[in-house]
Structure 1
Amino acid sequence: MSFRSPYPDVEIPEKSVHEFLFGDLTEDDLSRPALIDGPSGAVTDYRTLVAHIDLVAGALAARGVQVGDVVALHSPNVPAFASVFHGILRAGAVATTVNALYTADDIAKQLTDSEATMLFTVSPLLPQAKAAAEQVGLAADRIVVLDGAEGHESLKDLLTEGNSAPEVSFDPATHLAVLPYSSGTTGRPKGVMLTHRNLVANVSQVQPRMGAGRDDVLLAVLPFFHIYGMTVLLNLGLKVRATLVTMPKFDLEMFLRLTTEKKITFLFIAPPVAVALAKHPLVEQYDISSVRCVFSGAAALDENLGNAVAQRLHTKVRQGYGMSELSPVSHAIPFDGDDVPLSSCGAAVANSENKIVDPATGEEVAYPAAGSSEVSAPGELWIKGPNVMVGYLRNEQATADTLDSDGYLHTGDIAVVDGNGNVSIVDRLKELIKYKGYQVPPAELESLLLTHPDIADAAVIGVLDDEGEEVPKAFVVLQQGASLTEDDVISFVAEKVAPHKKVRRVQFIDTVPKSASGKILRKDLRAAETV
């Protein structure tokens, strides 16, 4: 049988995202800073934000955007992102957020697949956005450049028109709010259909666990176009009336400077940032003692790395688990969860239930006795709850492969659970290396490699040896000034793992390719594999 979240169910309001986030703003809330542009320091209070959202919604309606139409938003983290994103939803349209790192061809594919009728972008990204629009036949007057560009309307143009937000009506339980695209690390990107209820549910599920409130200041470096930044930073941050300080891209010096100057209290990060916080000498030059919690997601955070960050910054470190198809958070170590092992991603969020299923037999694994420290056998993690997507856009087969008839989403991740309901992700089902019949989790070897003082970053994939056997290969980024040989790395790992888990090959590289959300792009490593 499945196991439920240990937390009591929470009420999930039957509201649109706009009404849920902004419908109960008080006069005191309206004067509070909602967003601060990190590079310039410009402040947008909640009163201005809501006014801009309404004006964007009105401008969209004036341009013929109707309930259910798709509008693309292609932008890094700037305060205007919030105005446009929520303006799209306020108009009853669907926001498809486009990765700011995408090429013109990537953008064109998403515009085509989503059938977007308008595109918002920024001037630094206009060349690729414009080329994509030309590919798909989207006219120049359907491209809005937030900060302005010749031949295109700007956000200021839309705001100064003064159009009132339209009166719209839809069912939050079924009406799509956002259409993010899955990362494509294991295949062609797919449009993930998330309703207003999905997004409202996920904020409601995680709000009691995160510990963030109106007096907190959040550094918004995780991209809003990714579902992690969209839900946990943008929507949750605004719901609790916190202040978000935006960064358009990650730069360690700016990250540390803004944390110091703006007295950031919550850092939401991905594991690559944790590596820098644990190891980079620049950290010592800044006073970041205001930080009371570092929360990591998007990929598994190694326990040793997390503890190193906690000790160096003298703060709490937590992690969670999720995916775009889950809106995205399904598990999280709570802010007050000092007794929850950092090797786990915590228990299932409220209003949800899990199964762990042996992928070989299709049978559920045996669960440990309640309250025990024992862990189950590994299996694929299945999740059911109000945050689970409707399905993949116009892709019935992919939807059927991922969502079963009982409403469980099959994550493709291998997990174990302890007697307190804390789930630990072992690895991706499709990324496990099979060496002589033994399963070798790349994440385990990556975590071990990161404990070496001369290794700044690492990734592991399976490659074929001369005999056609799949073996673990490590891609290693050295610390500046460090010197290691292939034999050094192989010996270091061999001393600490079972024989079948030993690294058999090593390639030194300058950087580990990762998605904007921090996931290792193993397909890129396979493409660049030279040994």
Structure 2
Amino acid sequence: MAFTSPYPAVEIPEVSVPDFVLARSAELGDAPALVDGLSGETITHAELGFYVGRLAAALHARGLRKGDVVAVFCPNTIWYPVVFHGIAAAGCVTSPVNSLYTPEEIAFQLKDSGAKVLVTISLFLDRAREATAAHPVDEIVVLDGAEGHTSLRDLLSTDAPAVQVDIDPATDLVTLPYSSGTTGLPKGVMLTHRNLVANVAQCRPLIDLHAGERIIAVLPFFHIYGLTVLMNQGLQWGGAVVTLPRFDLEQFLRTIQDQKITRAFVAPPIVLALAKHPLVDQFDLSSLVTINSGAAPLDESLAEAAQARLRKGADTGVTIAQGYGMTELSPVSHTTPDTGREPAGAGPTPKGTVGYAIPNTESRLVDPATGEDAAPGERGELWVRGPQVMAGYLNNPQATADTLDADGWLHTGDVAVVDEAGRFTVVDRVKELIKYKGYQVAPAELEAVLLTHPEISDAAVIGVRDAESGEEHPTAFVVRTPGSGITADDVMAHAAAHLAPHKKVRRVEFIEAVPKSAAGKILRKDLKAVAAAW
């Protein structure tokens, strides 16, 4: 059976993402839209609208046209939203690149996405140049300037006429993030203007965020969670988005204290730090109203511990909750409502659940073995249907068909249960994907890298859950070539040289042979059984 959201359907405006997110920029005027959490540099809502228009005009003047892809390889800065919305207003498509990527990984994304321009910062320029040497683009733009490259200042100072592009929100892409999906190598996720507009509009009835609130943006904008939930949601609802370029616990705590942050959207490792790290007691975090965790499951006991610590024994104060989503869902399908935004007659949402399906969203729980709907109270693979569901994977009809069926149901690969009130809890994963610190790590990608080593004859990678953090650590089972003396440190060093830090192999076990089925499929359940005995 299909479970509908307990919330009434909302209207999805038929407009572009910039028109939707920046609709109130003139009204909000001099109110801060973006604040650099380290320097205090600020962009107002009015300035944001102006800069976006100028950047769109500059890109158009340089020959970029509707549908062209611009890769953005940049950490969180107050200028990231200017770049994203300027690209979108020009009718182009942003393909955000993970800031931790190696030149090889960047080059793969440039080639696969067909990017014409790469936008980056001077600190990342060496990797950008190496990547574009492998796969050239028309231009590298360096936001903060570098000799021989156009800067953001150059683009914003253009006197080119304003540009108006005819955008069909339902079909025209606005962003092309890369995700491993339910399995396999990274794939371009085609998200339309309507996908992103819908997801912000759908979340509104559950989130009581209002103008003047301050949202800390430490989760990266290149991740769909950061892009939609922190950046676009925060700006559209009139908040001030306070950026940090990376997660440093002391900087994070100091910024919450000094900037009077009211909302934090985070991943479970940050909740773990809030629950246990001694630094937390040195800062005044009393401005916080809500901490919402996503990107990976948040354990009930961890959420309770962090909330109790931050409340310092009081019955009220900050609430720690969680939501659920994935890149292919733009990303939110389920979330915990703010206090007072629960469905009629419902009490507080229990910790450990991901809350309710958001408006305009249907859910099913399907038995992976039979393909039939799971019985009430039973576990099943979570399927989702709604306006936030992706258009498909770029140039990959088979992967699209494997994930998105003919009836519009997205098969998430996650196993969930639902209670009588309609609250969902994610309990397991059908898919093989490893989640480490909120990032997706595809075993197939790590295995491919390991097999390039001449002293490795076979390899299999699984995620092994760490009891302390709850994180899954990429763990490699390696078969040495005859006569090889390769060590675990050698294996990890080889992987680290070719992969971003979050994809590193964290443990190596040497085995005689990788267990496989008759069809050659790695029997990961056998390896997980071995790991469970450690």
- TM-score bracket for the superposition, by shorter chain length: 0.7 to 0.9
Question: Could you say which residue in structure 1 is the equivalent of 2:74?
Answer: 75
What is the deviation of 1:187? 2.0
Letter in 1 for 2:366: V
Query: Which of 151, 154, 170 is 2:151 aligned to?
Result: 154
Farther off after superposition, 256-265 or 183-192: 183-192
Contact 2:417 2:427 in 1 (8 A): yes
Q: Is the counterpart of residue 390 in structure 1 residue 371 in structure 2?
A: no
Distance 2:30 2:155 in 1: 23
Structure 1 length-normalised TM: 0.81
Distance 2:400 2:292 in 1: 30
Given that 1:323 and 1:329 are in contact with CA atoms closer than 8 Å, whether structure 2 keeps it comes out as: yes
Question: Which position in structure 2 is the counterpart of 1:524?
Answer: 505
> Shift in Å at residue 186 of structure 1?
3.7
The one-character-per-residue Cα deviations of 1:466-515 (angstroms, maximum 9, x if unpaired) are 9xxxxxxxxxxxxxxxxxxxxxxxxxxxxxxxxxxxxxxxxxxxxxxxx9
Alignment RMSD:
2.5
Number of residue pairs aligned between Structure 1 and Structure 2: 454
Shift of 1:413: 0.5
Asked whether 1:274 is paired with 2:277, we answer no
SS at match of 1:144: strand
User: Contact 2:389/2:410 (CA < 8 Å) preserved in 1?
Assistant: yes
Measured in 1, the distance between the counterparts of 2:156 and 2:24 equals: 23
1:465 Cα deviation after fit: 13
For 1:196 and 1:205, the matched residues in 2 are separated by 14
Q: Distance in 2 between matches of 1:177 and 1:126?
A: 25
Does the 8 Å contact 1:258/1:264 carry over to 2?
Answer: yes
Structure 2 counterpart of 1:248, from 238, 245, 250: 245
1:97 is matched with 96
Q: Secondary structure at the match of 1:52?
A: helix
Task: State the SS of the aligned residue for 1:356.
Answer: strand
Q: Give the conservation status (yes or no) of the 8 Å contact 1:415–1:423.
A: yes
Paired letter, 2:236: K
Question: 8 Å contact 1:31–1:46 — kept in the other structure?
Answer: yes
**Match for residue 378 of structure 1?**
379
How far does residue 170 in structure 1 lie from its aligned partner after superposition? 2.0
User: For the residues of structure 2 that align with 1:127 and 1:254, how far apart are their CA atoms?
Assistant: 26
Q: 1:319 aligns with which of 313, 317, 322?
A: 322
TM-score (norm 2): 0.81
- In structure 2, C-alpha distance between the alignment counterparts of 1:297 and 1:112, rounded to whole Å: 30
Partner of 2:455: none
TM-fit CA distance, 1:215: 2.0
Matched, 1:366 2:375: yes
CA contact (8 A) 1:426 1:443 kept: no
Inter-partner Cα distance in structure 1 for 2:290 and 2:471: 25
Please give the secondary structure, in 1, of the residue aligned with 2:303: helix
Partner of 2:264: helix, strand, or coil?
A: strand
2: CA distance between counterparts of 1:348 and 1:144? 40
Aligned equivalents of 2:129 and 2:73: distance in 1? 11
- 2:125 is paired with a residue whose SS is helix
Alpha-carbon spacing, 1:229–1:135, altered in 2? closer, same or farther (3 Å): same
The match for 1:166 is 163
Deviations 1:392-422 (A, max 9, x none): 0000000000001110000011111111111
CA distance in 2, matches of 1:464, 1:88: 43
Paired with 1:13 and 1:185, the residues of 2 have a C-alpha distance of 30
Map of 1:508 onto structure 2? none
Question: Structure 1 stretches of 5 or more lacking a match?
Answer: 368-375, 434-441, 451-455, 467-514
Q: Which residue of 2 aligns with 1:422?
A: 423
Task: Judge conservation of contact 1:264–1:290 (CA < 8 Å) in 2.
Answer: yes
1:54 partner amino acid: G
In the alignment, structure 1 residue 125 sits paired with structure 2 residue 120: no
CA distance in 1, matches of 2:476, 2:147: 50
Q: Secondary structure at the match of 2:187?
A: coil
The superposition leaves residues 40-98 of structure 1 with CA deviations (integer Å, 9 ceiling, x where unpaired) of: 11111011111111111011001100011111111000011111110000001011001
C-alpha separation between the residues in 1 aligned to 2:163 and 2:46? 19
Residue 283 of structure 2 corresponds to residue 286 of structure 1: yes
Matches within 5 A, 1:104-503: 104-139=103-138, 142-183=139-180, 186-314=183-311, 315-336=318-339, 337=342, 339-367=348-376, 376-431=377-432, 446=466, 449-450=467-468, 459=472
Relative to structure 1, is the Cα distance of residues 35 and 146 closer, same or farther in structure 2, using a 3 angstrom cutoff?
A: same
**Do the aligned partners of residues 391 and 83 (structure 1) sit closer, same or farther apart at CA in structure 2, a change above 3 Å counting?**
same
Give 3-state SS (helix, strand or coil) of 1:230's partner.
helix
- 8 Å Cα contact 1:380/1:412 also seen in 2: yes
Q: How far apart are residue 366 of structure 1 and its match?
A: 1.7
Gaps of at least 5 residues in structure 2 are 312-317, 435-461, 480-498, 511-533
CA displacement, residues 108-164 of structure 1 (integer Å, 9 cap, x when unaligned): 10000000111100011111011111211224xx11100011110100011112323
Q: Aligned-pair distance for 1:459?
A: 3.5
1:278-299 CA-partner distances (Å, limit 9, x unpaired): 0000000000110011000000
CA distance, structure 2, for counterparts of residue 194 and residue 105 of structure 1: 24
Counterpart contact for 1:56–1:165, Cα < 8 Å:
no
- The Cα of 1:100 is off from its aligned counterpart by 0.6
Q: Which amino acid aligns with 1:278?
A: A
Cα shift readout 1:249-276 (whole Å, capped 9, x = no counterpart): 0000100001100000001100011110
AA aligned opposite 1:212: L
AA in 2 matched with 1:267: A
Task: Give me the identity figure in percent.
Answer: 52
SS at match of 1:153: coil
Contact kept in structure 1, 2:324 and 2:332, CA below 8 Å: yes
Q: Distance in 2 between matches of 1:284 and 1:182?
A: 37
Structure 1 SS opposite 2:256: helix
Instruction: Measure, in 1, the Cα distance between the counterparts of 2:117 and 2:21.
Output: 25
Secondary structure in 2 aligned to 1:524?
coil
Q: Answer yes or no: is the 8 Å Cα contact 1:268–1:296 preserved in 2.
A: yes
Q: Secondary structure at the match of 1:215?
A: coil
Gap change, CA 1:432 and 1:180, over 3 Å in 2: closer
- Counterpart Cα distance in 2 of 1:186 and 1:176: 23
Tell me how far 1:360 sits from its aligned partner: 0.6
On the 8 A contact 1:57/1:164 being kept in 2, the answer is: no
Letter of the aligned partner of 1:48 in structure 2? E
What displacement does 1:525 show?
4.1
Shift of 1:458: 5.1
Question: What's the CA shift string for 1:310-363, capped at 9, x where partnerless?
Answer: 111121011000000000000001012562111110111100101100001111
The residue aligned with 1:489 is none
Q: Is the 8 A contact 1:379 1:414 kept in 2?
A: yes
What's the offset of the Cα at 1:106? 0.6
Q: CA deviation at 1:239?
A: 0.4
Residues 464/64 of structure 1: CA separation in 2 closer, same or farther (3 Å cut): closer
Following TM superposition, where does structure 1 have runs of at least 4 consecutive aligned residues deviating by more than 6 angstroms? 442-445, 460-466
Q: What secondary structure sits across from 1:132 in the alignment?
A: helix
Tell me the SS of whatever aligns to 1:112: helix
CA distance in 2, matches of 1:25, 1:462: 48
Instruction: For residue 210 of structure 2, give the secondary structure of its aligned residue in structure 1.
Output: coil
SS at match of 1:79: coil
**How much does 1:443 deviate?**
9.7
In the alignment, residue 407 of structure 2 is paired with which amino acid?
A: D
The alpha-carbon deviation at position 378 of structure 1 amounts to 0.9
Q: Cα deviations across residues 174-233 of structure 1 (Å, max 9, x unaligned)?
A: 100100000578421000000000000000011221221112101110100100000000
The answer (yes or no) to whether the contact 1:90–1:165 under 8 Å persists in 2 is: no
Q: What residue is the counterpart of 1:51 in the other structure? A: 50
Give the distance between the partners of 1:148 and 1:97, measured in 2 at CA: 20
